[in-house]
Amino acid sequence: MTILEGPAGAPRKPVIRQPGLLSQMWTARADYLYVLPAIVVMLIVIAYPVYYTIDLSFFKTPPGLQLRDKIFVGTENYTAILSSEVFWKVTLNTVIWTVASTLIAFVLGYASALALHRDFAGRAVLRAILIIPWVISAVAASYIWKWMYHSDFGIIGAVMVQLGLVDRQPNFIDNVHTVLPSLIVVNIWREFPFAMIMIMAGLQTVPEQLLRAARVDGASAWQRFWHVTFPYLSGVSTVTILLLAVANFNSFIVPWITTSGGPSNASHIWITHIYELAFGRQRWGVAAAYSVLLFIIVMSLGYFYVRALSSNERKEDSP
C-alpha cells in the first residue's frame, strides 16, 4: 500500500492496488486444491453431459441409424421445434403447470405454516400428517391418484355421485380439458408440504420481541403479519418459489405415470415430451435441442435463485 500526494502537496486518499486474478488464485491455491476433486466430478457429471447435449442438438438421429451415425443438420432441430404446433402446445401446458403448481402450492404451504406456527393441541400430529404427501413415493402417489381419478370407477367420482354433486362419474384424466388441472391438483398436493416446511423454518427467524412490540403498539393480527412477519419471510419465500418453479419445470413422474402425456398431448409438459421424443421415438437430436431450451430457462431461474440467496446473505450480514 502506498500513499500518494495530491496537488499542492495535499495527501491523497490511500489507493489500494488490487492484485490480479492470477495472483489472487495463486495466493488462494490451497483453497482451489481443496475444491479440485469436487470441480473434477462436476466437470464429468455435469459439464460433459451439458456439452454433449448441446452438440447432439445439431444432429439428426433417424430410427434406423445408431446414434454414432448421426447426421449434422445445423440448427434445423431448433427451427423444427420452434415452428412445431406441438411445441407451443406443450410449452403452454408447461407454463400453466409450473405457474399454477408453484403459486398454489406456495400459498397453501404458507397458510399451513402460519396455522401450524400457533400452539394448539394436536399440532405435532397434524404437522406429521401434512408432510405425508411430500415424503410418500411420487410413483406410488401417482398410481394411487390415477385410480382415484379413474373415469369409470374412481373413488373421487363415486363419492361425488353419492353426494349428488354430479349425475355420472366425472371424467378427470380422459378429457383434454380436465386432465391438466387434475394433474396440477396432484402436484400441488405433493408439493405444498415442502413450501410449508420452508416457511415454518423461516417463521423461526421472525423476532418474537418485534411481534410483541407491535402488539403493544396496538397492531392487529393482520398488521403484525403484513408489517413484521411477511417482510421477514420475503427471502425464504423467494427461494421457496424459485425452488418450486425449478422442480415443476422438471416434473416428470406425476404426468408420465398418470397419463403418459395424453390424451392427445393434453398433459404433455416439456420433460415428458422430451422423454417421449428421446426414448420412445429416438429423436435424440430433437430431444437434445428441447433440453437445451429448457436448460436455458432453468438456468435463468437458477440465476435469480442465486441472487435471492446472495441478497438474503447480505441482509443477514448487514448491521
Nearest CA to 249 out of 193, 196, 305, 201 is that of 305
**Site residues for another protein, window 118-147 (CB under 8 A)?**
146
* Minimal distance, residue 186 CB to another protein, in Å: 14
Pick between residue 81 and residue 233 the one whose CB is nearest to another protein: 81
* Minimal distance, residue 192 CB to another protein, in Å: 25
The secondary structure of the chain in percent helix, strand, coil, rounded to multiples of 5, reads 70, 5, 25
With contact defined as beta carbons under 8 Å apart, do 142 and 132 qualify?
no
Pick between residue 114 and residue 262 the one whose CB is nearest to another protein: 262
Q: Is 301 in the site for another protein (CB under 8 A)?
A: no
76/160 Cα distance (integer angstroms): 50
Question: Which of 34, 230, 279, 303 is the binder for another protein (CB under 8 A)?
Answer: 279
Question: Which of 53, 91, 234, 260 is the binder for another protein (CB under 8 A)?
Answer: 260
Backbone angles phi, psi at 71, to 5 degrees: -110, 130
Pick between residue 65 and residue 165 the one whose CB is nearest to another protein: 65
DSSP 256-303: HHHHTT-STTTT--HHHHHHIIIIIT--HHHHHHHHHHHHHHHHHHHH
Q: Is 277 in the site for another protein (CB under 8 A)?
A: yes
Listed ranges 35-43, 77-85, 181-189, 218-226: which one lies at the site for another protein (CB under 8 A): 77-85
* Minimal distance, residue 37 CB to another protein, in Å: 24
289/273 Cα distance (integer angstroms): 12
260/234 Cα distance (integer angstroms): 37
Show the binding pattern over residues 158-177: x = contacts another protein (CB under 8 A), - = does not.
-----------x-x-xxxx-
Q: Under the rule (CB under 8 A), what is the footprint of another protein?
A: 60, 62-67, 80-81, 84, 86-87, 146, 150-153, 169, 171, 173-176, 258-266, 276-277, 279-283, 286
